């Protein structure tokens, strides 16, 4: 493998000058001790939210999609907003695990495990919405081409919705594989320190008999690099394809060539905000402040500013394109966005995504973890509204004034969104209890390389 | 085949790296190393050849892409072409996104599967560690003891020179197969045979087309399939095919407000005019004339059709001055409502086609003298 390009952080990767055994102990500590009150409180809350969502989905499945607030003009609304929101969240995990790996950003080792787990859970949440959106979720498998007794009647491979089905399922499978491959050495570490028992047997089963052999590491590193190389174009393709769901239509506000980069930047922006949210909370709760240091938060804040700028530029570009095109319908769509009935949603989006993140230019704000948390939460709100604005404001006033209408979500739709958050946090909390949140083997390797560089010893 | 191994334990990555390099220089055989993380440079120090797994990635990715591209083309062009928005059957650019996704899927899964295969990693596999804590904070270097006692001493000295914390000796009995593993292998064979048997049975057994396929989670209500002219079980009166209510007009039809009287025929002649007719419409008019009119009027319109030859009262020649003087609209009226012995043809020939017949009659009249 090519020699690593050293990207120096001026300060050490992790705090406290830990020994290898200490890393193992610290990271495994939350797994060893019994869950405390905060965990149980958070788990019960998330699990109840999940329950609410399941009831809502069950009710919707029994009754039909008429229980939603959607109508003939606004045929995509809450569900597709939530779908794009969640799938975007997932992208930061792959950015950290694959793209930053290729860029040799060593700081990623402290957060990549949790960020990848976040990707998986976010894609799971995202997957719910198109499936219930089809109205008859039990035949959602019709999205895939399989030999059937209708002809065989195949799916339409020219449709972005078919592309979507393939992109999302591939993304989930490859993300899960990437995550699991990264997890195997750590599972072996846990296996070797657990007392014999059920838990040890389960962990042992999934650790695949990993023994840290040099020959295996040699191949493993190559495979990890290959997966990162595959994951990088994959993650870009996924949100590109999601944006094509809109961009290949002829609707003003959707039909824009800027959509793929705009969506990808927005996805990474929202995902980074979610990573920050999760990391800030879990480093405090799991006592991992030495591993996820304020420097990690600082770097992620800078990524948030950068992507916020890209998203802001995209907003401006959309208006410029509309003005410059001379197309009345295009111009109306954007004026309606900013000053129409959903102007409040538009300006919420602009404030949360473009204006508020600018405070992160100040080091003092980046250093103040609580302030960063507030900004990250607001960015999540803003990015949810971005998708809402794109979908609902474009649809509710189309070409034909006769079919202009409004849209308001029903309680069932809100409950489904709450349920998706419940699923996300329930899964994340279980992950924190049973799987090391930090990739121990990677942190140990990065520490060694870090120490090596800092001591100035030539290889 | 058993072999003797000398194992040195180290406390950090730099020590095992230098020890491995020294062992190679000294001409010792490095069996393997066991480390808690990937020590950079250790693969080179062990003299490992570059892994060929990247070829697996390339070949699997290409295979996935080619198969998927072929499949999309085959379904859209060969097996069931469907016109979607006027796009060509072979819409190659639109096939690219899924081809890419499947390429990544194949490449990723095949590479990881190949890693598991060559590194012999599988669920539930157990391998006792030669040295404890190599997955935590210990580094082990395993050297094969080739011949004499002298080697052991040399290896020990080398290890200690590189700050080994422990040196132990082991005898490797070669790979042995435990009872559990034998049982697992037997189970795998049984499962594989069962799968093959199921596939074979599915292919070999006949499917009876008279037995309807099993329907689960039925999506639609199944309506009764009644014959068109059978008695109607729902309405009770009349047949399944109900008579449309009075004043019903077929889609695309325009109503004609005339009565079947000679006076209204004259009125139609004044009010209605023929739509423009092209050569193709005229040919259609000829065909229709041969089909519906010639049996009485004859091929040339003089009134000597086969029905007349068998005794039916002959119609007036279409070439007679009376017929020549009729307006287009009047002839249309006659076709629609009938006249004297001629029945109405409105139910058999639609309005567009009746106008074509009118045009053909005009052509017959123009081409022949009375």
Over residues A420-446, the pLDDT tens digits come to 999 999 999 999 888 998 888 888 888
Is A27 near chain B, with CB under 8 Å? no
B150 and B266 both lie in a single domain:
no
CA pair distance A91, A266, nearest whole angstrom: 10
| pLDDT for position B284 | 93
Q: What is the pLDDT of residues A302-351, one digit of tens each?
A: 999 999 999 999 999 999 999 999 999 999 999 999 999 999 999 999 99
Q: How many CB atoms lie within 10 A of CB A35?
A: 13
- B239: number of CA atoms within 13 Å, CB side? 8
Using the CB atoms, write b or e for B332-356: b if 16+ within 10 Å. bbbbbbebeeeeebeeebebebbbb
Domain boundary among B172, B198, B215: B172
Give the pair of three-digit tokens for residue A365. Answer: 């704000």
Q: Which one of A158, A214, A442 has the shortest CB-CB distance to B42?
A: A214
B32/A154 touch (CB, cutoff 8 Å), yes or no: no
pLDDT for A3: 44
Q: How confident is the model at residue A459 (pLDDT cuts 50, 70, 90)?
A: very low
Query: pLDDT band at A185, cuts 50/70/90?
Result: very high
Do the beta carbons of residue B281 and residue B356 sit within 8 Å?
Answer: yes
B152 vs B281, higher pLDDT = B281
Contact of A437 with A281, CB cutoff 8 Å: no
B147 min Cα distance to partner chain A (Å): 24
What is the span of the domain harbouring residue B76? 3-172
Q: Out of B123, B213, B217, name the one closest to residue A205 (CB).
A: B123
Q: Secondary structure of chain B in the HEC alphabet? A: CCEEEEEEEECCHHHHHHHHHHHHHCCCEEEEEECCCCCCCHHHHHCCCCCCHHHHHHHHHHHHHHHHHHHHHHHHHHHCCCCCCCCCCCCHHHHHHHHHHHHHHHHHHHHHHHHHHHCCCCCCCCCCCCCCCCCCCCEEEEEEECCCHHHHHHHHHHHHHCCCCEEEEEEECCCCCCHHHHHHHHHHHHHHHHHHHHHHHHHHCCCCCCCCCCCCCCCCCCCCCCCCCCECCCCCCCECCCCCCCCCCCCCCCCCCCCCCHHHHHHHHHHCCCCCCCHHHHHHHHHHHHHHHHHHHCCCCCCCCHHHHCCCCCCCCCCCHHHHHCCHHHHHHHHHHCECCECCCCCCCCHHHHHHHHHHHHHHHHHCCC
Order of strands across the sheet that contains B166-172: B29-34, B139-145, B3-10, B166-172
- pLDDT of res. A36: 83
For residue A152, whether the previous peptide bond is cis, meaning omega lies within 30 degrees of 0, is: yes
Q: Given CB atoms, is B80 within the 8 Å cutoff of chain A? A: yes
How does residue A11 score in pLDDT terms, banded at 50, 70 and 90?
low
A30 touches chain B (CB under 8 A): no
Distances (CA, A) of A67 to A56, A133, B344: 10, 12, 55
What distance in Å separates the CA atoms of residue B1 and residue B172, rounded to the nearest whole number? 8
Q: CB distance B137–A20 less than 8 Å?
A: yes
* Residues B149 and B32 placed together within one structural domain of the fold: yes
Considering only CB atoms, which chain B residues are within 8 Å of A179? none
Band of residue B176 on the pLDDT scale cut at 50, 70, 90: low
Residue with tokens 């020994």: A19
CB-CB neighbors (< 8 A) of A448 in chain B: 12-14, 37, 39-40
| Residue B220: pLDDT over 80 | no
Contacts of A173 in chain B (CB under 8 A): 105, 108-109
pLDDT band, residue B367 (cuts 50/70/90): confident
How, if at all, do strands B166-172 and B139-145 pair? unpaired
Binding-face residues of B in 94-133 toward A, CB within 8 A: 94-95, 97-98, 100-102, 104-105, 107-109, 111-112, 115-116, 118-127, 129, 132-133
Residue B203 within any structural domain of the chain: no
What residues of A are in contact with residue B51 (Cβ under 8 Å)?
Answer: 218-219, 222
Number of domains in chain B: 2
How many residues can be counted in chain B? 370
Distance separating alpha carbons of residues A62 and A453, to the nearest angstrom? 62
Cβ separation of B57 and A226 shorter than 8 Å? yes
Chain A CB contacts of B35 below 8 Å:
212, 214, 217
Q: Both tokens of residue B154?
A: 């040399």
Question: Of A152, A237, A441, which has the smallest distance from its Cβ to B101's Cβ?
Answer: A237
- Residues 84-143 (A) with a CB less than 8 A from some CB of B: 136, 138-139
pLDDT band at B217 (very low <50, low <70, confident <90, very high): low
pLDDT value of residue A408? 92
What pLDDT is stored for residue B325 in this prediction?
A: 85
pLDDT on residue B180? 67
Mean pLDDT computed over A147-155: 84
Q: Between B154 and B344, name the one with better pLDDT.
A: B344
Number of cross-chain residue pairs from A and B with Cβ atoms under 8 Å apart? 204
Query: Phi then psi for B35, rounded to 5 degrees?
Result: -135, 150
Neighboring chain B residues of A24 at a CB cutoff of 8 Å: 136-137
Three-class SS of residue A213?
Answer: strand
The answer to whether A223 contacts B115, with C-beta atoms less than 8 Å apart, is yes
Contact A210 B135 (CB under 8 A): yes
Per-residue model confidence as pLDDT tens digits over A72-127: 899 998 999 999 999 999 888 888 888 888 888 888 888 888 899 999 999 999 99
How far is B23 from A370, CA to CA, in rounded Å? 53
- 8 Å CB contact of A212 and B34: yes
| pLDDT at A27 > cutoff 90 | no
| Structure confidence at residue B209 as a pLDDT band (50, 70, 90) | confident
* pLDDT tens-digit map of B252-297: 777 888 888 888 888 888 888 888 888 999 999 999 999 999 999 9
Give me the CATH number covering residue B361: 1.10.760.10
The answer to the question of residue B188 being in a domain is: no
Return the pLDDT at A458: 42
Residue A456 has pLDDT above 60, yes or no: no
C-alpha B69/C-alpha A70 separation (Å) is 37
The pLDDT > 70 percentage for chain A reads: 96
What fold characterizes domain A22-448? Formate dehydrogenase/DMSO reductase fold (1.20.1630)
Query: How many C-beta atoms lie closer than 10 Å to residue A184's C-beta?
Result: 20
Please indicate, yes or no, whether residues B35 and B140 belong to a single structural domain of this protein.
yes
**Measured distance CA(B14)–CA(B163) in Å, rounded:** 10
Q: Check: CB of residue A112 under 8 Å from CB of residue A106.
A: no
- The domain locations on chain A are 22-448
Question: How close is the nearest chain B Cα to the Cα of A23, in Å?
Answer: 9
Please, which pLDDT band fits residue A293 given cuts at 50, 70 and 90? confident
Which of A136, A144, A211, A448 to mutate against chain B (most B CBs within 10 Å)? Answer: A211
Q: Provide the percentage of residues in chain A whose pLDDT is more than 90.
A: 59
Dig out the tokens for A239 from the structure.
């949100």
CA A126 – CA A417 distance, rounded (Å):
10
B residues 259..318 contacting A (CB < 8 A): none
pLDDT (0 to 100) of residue A412: 94
B231 bridge partner residues: B239
Residue A178 with chain B: CB contacts under 8 Å = 108
Residue B341 counted as domain residue: yes
Has residue A151 got a pLDDT over 60? yes
Predicted confidence (pLDDT) at residue A385 exceeds the cutoff of 80: yes
Total Cβ atoms within 10 A of residue A102? 12
Mean pLDDT score, B97-107: 95
Q: Cβ contacts (< 8 Å) between A214 and chain B: which residues? A: 32-35, 39, 42-43, 46, 48
Q: Which residues of B touch A109 (CB under 8 A)?
A: none
Q: Is the pLDDT of residue B1 over 60?
A: no
| Nearest beta carbon to residue B124 from set A136, A205, A444 | A205
pLDDT of A53 above 70: yes
Nearest chain B residue to A147, by CA: B75
Q: How many residues does chain A have?
A: 459
Chain A, window 163-202: residues with a beta carbon less than 8 angstroms from a chain B beta carbon: 163, 166-167, 170, 173-174, 177-178, 181, 184-185, 188-189, 191-193
B136 and A189: CB-CB below 8 Å? Answer: yes
B7: chain A residues, CB-CB within 8 Å: none
Interface of A with B in 203-262 (CB under 8 A): 204-206, 208-223, 226-227, 230-231, 233-234, 237, 241, 244
Question: Residue A278 and residue A94: Cα distance in Å, rounded?
Answer: 15
Q: Which of B37, B61, B122 sits opposite A444 (nearest CB)?
A: B37
DSSP code, position A95: I
Set of chain B residues whose Cβ sits within 8 Å of the Cβ of A4: 40
The pLDDT value given to residue B275: 85
Q: What local confidence, expressed as pLDDT, does residue B206 receive?
A: 79
pLDDT of residue A334: 92
Q: Does A147 touch chain B (CB under 8 A)?
A: no
Q: Return the pLDDT at A1.
A: 39
Distance, in Å, from the CA atom of A101 to the CA atom of A99, rounded to the nearest integer, reads 5
Find the mean pLDDT for residues A404-411. 92
Instruction: Look at residue B350 in the predicted model and tell me its pLDDT.
Output: 87
CB contact under 8 A, A157 and B72: yes
Contact flag B134-A212 (C-beta cutoff 8 Å): yes
* Rounded Cα distance, A419 and A135, in Å: 18
Provide the pLDDT for residue B174.
Answer: 62
Q: Is B343 on the interface with A (CB under 8 A)?
A: no
Instruction: Express each pLDDT in B12-69 by its tens digit.
Output: 888 888 889 888 888 888 888 899 988 888 888 888 889 999 999 999 999 999 999 9
Q: What is d(CA A385, CA A382) in angstroms, rounded to the nearest whole number?
A: 5
Average pLDDT on A133-148 reads: 87
Indicate the residue of A158, A210, A230 with minimum beta-carbon distance to B121.
A210
Contacts of B61 in chain A (CB under 8 A): 230
Q: What is the pLDDT of residues A229-283, one digit of tens each?
A: 999 999 999 999 999 999 999 999 899 999 999 999 999 999 999 999 999 988 8
Residues in chain A within 8 Å Cβ distance of B79: 152, 154
Q: Which residues contact A404 (CB under 8 A, 6 or more apart)?
A: A73, A396, A397, A398
The answer to whether the CB of B151 falls within 8 A of the CB of B23 is no
Measured between CA atoms, how close is B228 to chain A, in angstroms? 26
| Domain finish residue from B172, B204, B234 | B172
Q: What is the pLDDT of residue A23?
A: 86
In the structure encoding, which two tokens stand for residue A153, read together? 């009647």
Q: Are residues B152 and B269 in the same domain?
A: no
Given B138, B153, B172, the domain boundary residue is B172
In chain B, what residues touch A215 (CB-CB under 8 Å)?
A: 32, 46, 48, 119
Find all residues with CB under 8 Å of B219, minimum gap 6, and list them. A136, A139
Residue B157 and residue B28 in one domain: yes
The token pair at B338 is: 């009938």
CA B158/CA B167 separation, integer angstroms = 11
CB-closest option in B80, B102, B136 to A192 = B136
Q: Is the pLDDT of residue A381 over 80?
A: yes
Q: Residue B148: pLDDT above 80?
A: no
Bridge partners for B339 per DSSP: B342
Query: pLDDT higher for A329 or B237?
Result: A329
């Amino acid at each position: 493998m090519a020699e690593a390009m050293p990207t120096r952080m001026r300060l050490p990767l992790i705090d406290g000058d830990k020994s290898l055994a200490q890393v193992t102990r610290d990271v495994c500590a939350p797994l060893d001790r019994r869950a405390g009150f905060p965990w149980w409180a958070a788990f019960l809350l998330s699990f109840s939210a999940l329950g609410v969502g399941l009831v809502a989905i069950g009710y919707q499945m029994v009754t039909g999609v008429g229980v939603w607030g959607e109508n003939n003009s606004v045929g995509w609304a809450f569900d597709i907003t939530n779908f794009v929101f969640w799938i975007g969240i997932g992208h930061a995990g792959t950015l950290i695990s694959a793209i930053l790996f290729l860029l040799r950003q060593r700081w990623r080792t402290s957060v990549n495990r949790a960020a990848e787990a976040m990707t998986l859970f976010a894609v799971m949440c995202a997957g719910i919405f198109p499936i219930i959106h089809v109205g008859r979720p039990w035949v959602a498998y019709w999205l895939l081409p399989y030999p059937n007794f209708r002809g065989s009647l195949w799916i339409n491979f020219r449709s972005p919705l078919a592309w979507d089905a393939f992109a999302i399922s591939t993304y989930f499978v490859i993300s899960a594989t990437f995550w699991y491959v990264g997890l195997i050495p750590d599972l072996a570490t846990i296996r070797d320190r657990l007392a014999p028992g059920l838990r040890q047997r389960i962990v042992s089963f999934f650790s695949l008999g990993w023994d840290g052999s040099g020959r295996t590491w040699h191949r493993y590193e190559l495979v990890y690099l290959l997966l990162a190389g595959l994951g990088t174009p994959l993650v870009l393709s996924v949100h590109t394809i999601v944006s094509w769901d809109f961009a290949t239509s002829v609707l003003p506000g959707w039909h824009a060539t800027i959509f793929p980069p705009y969506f990808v930047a927005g996805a990474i922006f929202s995902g980074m905000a979610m990573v920050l949210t999760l990391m800030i909370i879990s480093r405090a709760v799991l006592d991992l402040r030495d591993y996820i240091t304020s420097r990690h938060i600082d770097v992620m804040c800078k990524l948030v500013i950068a992507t916020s700028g890209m998203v802001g530029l995209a907003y401006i570009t959309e208006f410029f394109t509309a003005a410059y095109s001379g197309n009345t319908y295009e111009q109306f769509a954007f004026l309606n966005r900013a000053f129409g009935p959903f102007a409040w949603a538009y300006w919420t989006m602009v404030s949360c995504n473009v204006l508020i993140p600018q405070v992160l230019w100040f080091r003092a704000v980046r250093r103040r973890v609580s302030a960063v948390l507030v900004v990250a939460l607001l960015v999540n709100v803003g990015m949810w509204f971005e998708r809402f604005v794109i979908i609902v404001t474009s649809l509710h006033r189309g070409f034909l004034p006769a079919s202009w209408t409004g849209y308001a979500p029903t309680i069932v739709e809100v409950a489904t969104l709450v349920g998706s958050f419940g699923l996300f946090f329930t899964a994340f909390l279980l992950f924190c209890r049973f799987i090391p949140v930090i990739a121990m083997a990677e942190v140990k390797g990065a520490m060694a390389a870090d120490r090596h560089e800092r001591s100035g010893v030539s290889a | 085949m058993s072999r003797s191994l000398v194992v040195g334990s180290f406390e950090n990555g730099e020590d095992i790296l230098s020890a491995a390099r020294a062992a190679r220089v000294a001409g010792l055989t490095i069996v393997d190393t066991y480390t808690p993380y990937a020590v950079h440079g250790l693969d080179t120090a062990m003299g490992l050849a570059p892994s060929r797994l990247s070829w697996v990635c390339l070949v699997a990715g290409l295979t996935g892409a080619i198969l998927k591209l072929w499949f999309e083309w085959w379904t859209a062009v060969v097996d069931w072409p469907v016109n979607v928005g006027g796009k060509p059957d072979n819409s190659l650019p639109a096939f690219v996104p899924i081809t890419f996704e499947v390429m990544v899927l194949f490449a990723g899964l095949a590479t990881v599967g190949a890693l598991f295969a060559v590194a012999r990693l599988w669920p539930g596999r157990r391998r006792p560690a030669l040295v404890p804590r190599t997955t935590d904070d210990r580094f082990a270097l395993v050297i094969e003891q080739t011949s004499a006692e002298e080697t052991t001493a040399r290896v020990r000295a080398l290890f200690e020179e590189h700050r080994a914390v422990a040196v132990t000796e082991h005898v490797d009995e070669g790979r042995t197969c435990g009872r559990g593993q034998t049982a697992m292998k037997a189970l795998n064979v049984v499962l594989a045979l069962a799968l093959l048997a199921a596939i074979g049975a599915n292919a070999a057994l006949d499917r009876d087309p008279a037995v309807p396929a099993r329907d689960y989670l039925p999506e639609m209500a199944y309506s009764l399939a009644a014959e068109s002219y059978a008695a109607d079980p729902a309405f009770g009166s009349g047949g399944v095919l109900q008579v449309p209510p009075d004043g019903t007009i077929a889609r695309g039809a325009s109503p004609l407000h005339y009565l079947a009287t000679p006076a209204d025929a004259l009125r139609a002649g004044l009010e209605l005019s023929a739509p423009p007719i092209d050569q193709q419409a005229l040919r259609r008019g000829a065909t229709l004339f041969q089909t519906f009119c010639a049996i009485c009027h004859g091929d040339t319109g003089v009134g000597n059709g086969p029905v007349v030859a068998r005794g039916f009262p002959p119609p007036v020649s279409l070439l007679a001055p009376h017929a020549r003087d009729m307006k287009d609209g009047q002839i249309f009226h006659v076709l629609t409502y009938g006249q004297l012995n001629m029945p109405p043809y409105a139910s058999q020939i639609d309005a567009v086609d009746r106008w074509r017949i009118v045009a053909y009659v005009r052509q017959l009249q123009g081409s022949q003298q009375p």
